[in-house]
Copies of this chain bind each other. A is one copy, B any other.
Amino acid sequence: MFTATCIAPVNMALVKYWGKRNEELILPINDSVSMTLDANEMCAKTTISASESFKQNRMWLNGEVVPFEENARLMRCVEGIHRLALANGAHKFPLSWKVHIASYNNFPTAAGLASSAAGYACLVYTLARLYDLPMNEELTTIARQGSGSACRSLYGGFVHWQRGTSADGSDSIAVQLAPAEHWPNMHMLILVVNDARKKTGSTKGMQLGVQTSALIQHRAKEVVPQRVKDLIAAIDARDFESFAEITMKESNQLHAICLDTYPPCVYMNDVSHAIANFVHDYNETVGSVQAAYTFDAGPNACLYVLAENVPRLLAAIQLAFPNDASQSVEYLKGIPVPPVEVKNGLRDVSIGHVNAKNMLKYIIHTKIGEGPKQLSDEKSLLIDGYPLTK
């Protein structure tokens, strides 16, 4: 039996991926750019074992058995790796051996926190380790076919998913723009918002968007290319103000496109909008752009903020969005934040936004992080090819 265990990080888009030109190959209508988040706070962890004795491919996700051969996206990733392994020549065991896969997300699945990106990146990376394949751009084209944005979770730091132009998708790859060390004090506060409404899934949402939005193609062709260029320059120069403005405009435009979809897809709620509004007022009050919001296909806010500005921003958030559990470790997750005194101006901006209590479920403090990593065998999720529990 051969086994590999790896973790892969979550990534958060800055220039947004929204809309496919090929549903099956998951080819996007525009480039996107993301930042990879530290795996310490959030990651997917996957163990894959291959054995001559396995009768069939099997998979457990968060401890539950899930379909394998029926999952076209999963199969596409496995077959993609098989093709690479064949082309590579060397492999320690026959490709005909079946695999057992166990995967966990250490954060809520489908909470709008890009669990599928980390999950498929981890799957592909772990398969690559199992078959001794080198980490390269071809792996990103395979991860992309599991979940589009998964290709961006194969690198740390800042990552650029290029849409590509070829019909087979071979040039729709992710490349690293800069490693995490380039801008190590880039942190993030994730505000997880209470929300009851059912939402259109992002796959369905972007499909409807491509079919019905009168603005989405204009966005893809005329707006995104310049934004990608400008964002890459801002990252290069570590220019937070430009970085922030592009990021917020991109988030707003994604949700504009969703609203222009028919019937409309609405992912942000009143609390999300209150957070965005708070960020604009906060930046104005402190006199410089110190925070930038971005929202994906859900109501949660991800706020980019430099490490040195985290304590003050968090204090203002706590005032604006009060919570009964505001000081508890269950509420403030992730990297600890030293307390800070809040100045009067900040108190004013925050209090201008106070609505009901407990609008946020919890807050995660995290930062820029590395790409996937292989773990030692004692971290395996499988023992003799089967999950630990069960």
Which of A's residues lie within 8 Å of B, judged by CB? 196-197, 214-215, 218-219, 222-223, 245, 248-249, 252-253, 255-257, 259-264, 266, 269-270, 273-274, 276-277, 280, 355
Contacts and interface: CB of A to CB of B under 8 A. Distances in A.
30 contacts: A196-B355, A197-B274, A214-B219, A214-B222, A214-B223, A214-B249, A215-B215, A215-B218, A215-B219, A215-B223, A215-B253, A218-B222, A245-B262, A248-B262, A249-B260, A249-B262, A252-B259, A252-B261, A252-B262, A252-B264, A253-B259, A253-B260, A255-B259, A256-B256, A256-B260, A263-B276, A263-B277, A263-B280, A264-B276, A266-B277
A266 B273 contact: yes
A197 B270 CA distance: 10
A262 B269 CA distance: 18
Residue among A214, A248, A249, A273 with max Cβ neighbours from chain B (10 Å): A214
Q: How many copies does the complex hold?
A: 2
Nearest to A276: B264
Contacts of A253: 214-215, 259-260
A249 B213 CA distance: 9
Given A214-B223, A263-B276, A263-B277, 12 more contacts: A196-B355, A197-B274, A214-B222, A214-B249, A215-B253, A249-B260, A252-B260, A256-B259, A264-B273, A264-B276, A266-B273, A269-B270
Contacts of A248: 262-263
A272 to B, nearest CB: 10
Nearest to A260: B256
Contacts of A264: 252, 273, 276
Nearest to A251: B264
A278 to B, nearest CB: 11
Contacts of A262: 245, 248-249, 252
A280 B196 CA distance: 19
A263 B245 CA distance: 10
A23 to B, nearest CB: 23
A269 B262 CA distance: 18
A274 B198 CA distance: 11
A253 B258 CA distance: 10
A143 to B, nearest CB: 30
A334 B100 CA distance: 67
Nearest to A284: B263
Contacts of A219: 214-215
Contacts of A252: 259-262, 264
Contacts of A223: 214-215
A273 B252 CA distance: 17
Contacts of A269: 270
Nearest to A224: B214
Contacts of A355: 196
A253 B196 CA distance: 25
Contact of A256 (B197, B215, B263, B274): B215
Nearest to A279: B263
Contacts of A215: 215, 218-219, 223, 253, 256
Contacts of A280: 263
- Which 8 A-B residue pairings sit nearest by Cβ, starting from the closest? A256-B260, A256-B256, A256-B259, A218-B218, A263-B280, A214-B223, A270-B270, A266-B273
